[in-house]
Amino acid sequence: MTNPSDMQLVSATFPIILTASLFTAAKIILAIWLFVRKLPHRNRFALRAVVVFAVVLVAVVAGSWVGTVQNPSLTTSNRYLAQAAVFIPLPIACLAATAWLYDASPWTLLFCVTAGYTLQNIASSAETFNWLLSLVLTGGVSEPFAALDMLVTPLVIYVVGYLVLVRRIEREGLELIQDRKMLLMILALLALVIGFDLVNKQLEEIGTPVEYVIILRVFHSCVCVFMLLLEYEMLYSKSLKTEISTMSRVMEGERRHLELSRESIQAINARCHDIRHQVLKQLTRDDSPHDRETLTAIAREISIYDSQVKTGNETLDVVITEKGLLCEREGISLSCIADGSALSFMSATDIYALFGTVLGDAMDAAQANDDLSCRRIVVNVHQAMGFVSTHIEYPASGAAERDASVPLRLIVESYGGTLEPSEKNGVRRVDILFPANPRS
């Protein structure tokens, strides 16, 4: 039978345990929310969120009541077993809750939950570190300091975590990357983060010197930071692999397009040369039945298609010739002064992809310009002072351009170059600079 005085003590601790449990639940929810907040919501998200909060509230109140009133040993002699029983399955419960709220893949949700839970553990370790440090320096911990530590420390950690990690992940779109290796992170979370935290708490109670406990708390925080960085690196590596795979497919398509364009231009030039030869032959005949002015006009038009740009680089010739024919059809002036031989260090596929994409953007922008006199594209490629400079300018359209996209930057940077788009006075400029011998 429980002594009435003991019952009064247990009842007095119930509000304390309940308050601490509610704070812990709120900190876990806030930490996970930092990572999931940009994910797409499921239908009736608000109603689902209310249900989740209600379940959390009932679970916290019931757990605190059972641990203090129904079975006080759960918050005294057996509290570490009780904490293990709660905190070890908790990440799985958080994963289920986020899956019910957000429409995302299990791997994305797994990352968000493990990252958020780890961030909360960093905040918890920082709180305990401050508490222990105050104990060492002042010989005790005042209630105002403990309350301030509980409120301010997590907020500081979360702000720093957002600025250093979460914002970068959102900017790079890494939270949507799916990596099955995240399954290993839940195991690492259970063993290294939660397990280590419970061990540290028990060491504090069995009389381990405070200095040693502080060192272990610092080590626990380092493990949590390492976990977050490891997850970030896993997603970043997966993202790079995806970009490289996409780039490989794009480049293979560009290679096939280059071959088709080269064959088409050669066939057009050969056919136009034959037709032009026949037209000129008719013009030299005094008894030709055809109108001479018509034949002269035909010869002039055919000469456009019978001419191919010669820059000193076969691939650049194909690109400029192909785009030149399209510009002629659309009433766009394309002028090119290029030393193609300066690009000899680049592969044919890279040249075709780079110049083809930028000139494609330039043509789209020029076509969108109502002023026909401004429909002009300028291409300049030259070598000077150990660098190969490419300058392309065309009318600014105000629309999003592709010249600064990741694939083109990857091409340029693979040769040690830089790509700098700019816009001024209605003219868009793309400047690309390569070292003359990037692989020597």
Q: What is the DSSP string of 347-410?
A: -HHHHHHHHHHHHHHHHHHHHT-S-GGG-EEEEEEEEETTEEEEEEEEE--SSPPSTTSHHHHH
**pLDDT, tens digit, 9 for 90 and up, residues 198-234:** 676 667 666 678 778 788 878 878 888 888 788 777 7
Q: Distances from the Cα of 198 to the Cαs of 83, 124, 128, 206, 221, in angstroms? A: 8, 12, 12, 13, 13
Tell which of 195, 229, 247 closes a domain: 247
pLDDT higher than 70, residue 79: no
Is 153 found in the same domain as 76?
Answer: yes
Q: Residue 304 is encoded by which pair of tokens?
A: 């456009």
Model pLDDT, residue 244:
67
Is 215 found in the same domain as 114?
Answer: yes
Domain of residue 315, residue span: 311-440
Inside any domain, residue 305: no
Model pLDDT, residue 111:
84
Inside any domain, residue 151: yes
Model pLDDT, residue 160:
93
Contact 38, 98 (CB under 8 A): no
Q: What are phi and psi of 371, to 5 degrees?
A: -80, 105
Q: Minimal CA–CA distance to 233: which of 165, 284, 283, 279?
A: 165
Lowest-confidence pick of 140-154, 261-275, 352-366: 261-275
Tell which of 204, 223, 247 closes a domain: 247
Mean predicted confidence (pLDDT) in 56-81:
71
Lowest-confidence pick of 61-75, 144-158, 405-419: 61-75
The span from the CA of 119 to the CA of 97, in Å, is 18
pLDDT band at 121 (very low <50, low <70, confident <90, very high): confident
The span from the CA of 322 to the CA of 318, in Å, is 6
pLDDT higher than 80, residue 303: no
Model pLDDT, residue 98:
92
Extract long-range pairs of 303-312: CB within 8 Å, 24+ residues apart. 303/276, 304/328, 305/268, 305/269, 305/272, 306/269, 306/272, 306/273, 306/276, 308/265, 308/269, 309/336, 311/336, 311/338, 311/339, 311/340, 311/341, 311/381, 312/338, 312/339, 312/340, 312/341
Inside any domain, residue 123: yes
Which residues, other chains included, contact 81 with Cβ-Cβ below 8 Å and sequence gap of 6+?
none
User: Which tops the pLDDT comparison, 135 or 307?
Assistant: 135
Q: How many Cα atoms occupy the beta-carbon half-sphere of 352 within 13 Å?
A: 21
DSSP H/E element including 76 = none
Residue 395 sits in a domain of what CATH number?
3.30.565.10
Highest mean predicted confidence (pLDDT) among 32-41, 70-79, 211-220, 362-371:
32-41
Highest mean predicted confidence (pLDDT) among 119-123, 236-240, 318-322:
119-123
Is 218 found in the same domain as 101?
Answer: yes
Cβ neighbour number for residue 186 with a 10 Å cutoff = 17
Mean predicted confidence (pLDDT) in 78-88:
64
The span from the CA of 53 to the CA of 29, in Å, is 10
Lowest-confidence pick of 268-277, 355-364, 391-400: 268-277
Is 327 found in the same domain as 182?
Answer: no
Q: Residue 307 is encoded by which pair of tokens?
A: 């001419």
pLDDT band at 97 (very low <50, low <70, confident <90, very high): very high
**pLDDT, tens digit, 9 for 90 and up, residues 319-337:** 888 888 788 778 888 888 8
pLDDT band at 294 (very low <50, low <70, confident <90, very high): low
Is 434 found in the same domain as 345?
Answer: yes
What whole-number percentage of the chain has pLDDT above 90? Answer: 14
pLDDT higher than 70, residue 278: no
Q: Residue 342 is encoded by which pair of tokens?
A: 């300066």
* Amino acid found at 420: E
Q: Distances from the Cα of 336 to the Cαs of 61, 162, 430, in angstroms? A: 76, 48, 14
pLDDT higher than 70, residue 339: yes
Is 76 found in the same domain as 188?
Answer: yes
Is 164 found in the same domain as 33?
Answer: yes
Is 182 found in the same domain as 329?
Answer: no
Mean of all residue pLDDT scores within the chain: 77
Is 221 found in the same domain as 146?
Answer: yes
Mean predicted confidence (pLDDT) in 298-306:
58
Inside any domain, residue 301: no
Is 323 found in the same domain as 213?
Answer: no
Model pLDDT, residue 143:
78
The span from the CA of 27 to the CA of 278, in Å, is 85
Model pLDDT, residue 8:
40
The span from the CA of 335 to the CA of 267, in Å, is 24
Is 325 found in the same domain as 216?
Answer: no
Inside any domain, residue 281: no
Model pLDDT, residue 400:
46
pLDDT higher than 90, residue 254: no
Mean predicted confidence (pLDDT) in 376-392:
91
Lowest-confidence pick of 87-91, 149-153, 360-364, 418-422: 87-91
The span from the CA of 275 to the CA of 280, in Å, is 9
pLDDT band at 403 (very low <50, low <70, confident <90, very high): very low
Model pLDDT, residue 191:
66
Inside any domain, residue 335: yes
Q: Residue 52 is encoded by which pair of tokens?
A: 């989740």
**pLDDT, tens digit, 9 for 90 and up, residues 1-44:** 344 434 343 444 778 778 888 888 899 999 999 999 888 899 99
List the Cα angle 437/357/397 in 5-degree steps: 120
Tell which of 196, 225, 247 closes a domain: 247
The span from the CA of 79 to the CA of 197, in Å, is 14
For the chain, how many structural domains are there in total?
A: 2
Lowest-confidence pick of 40-54, 62-76, 374-388: 62-76
Inside any domain, residue 36: yes
Which residues, other chains included, contact 184 with Cβ-Cβ below 8 Å and sequence gap of 6+?
none
Is 362 found in the same domain as 218?
Answer: no
CA-CA-CA-CA torsion sign (340, 341, 346, 352): positive
* Amino acid found at 397: S
pTM for this model (two decimals): 0.57
Inside any domain, residue 277: no
* Amino acid found at 365: A
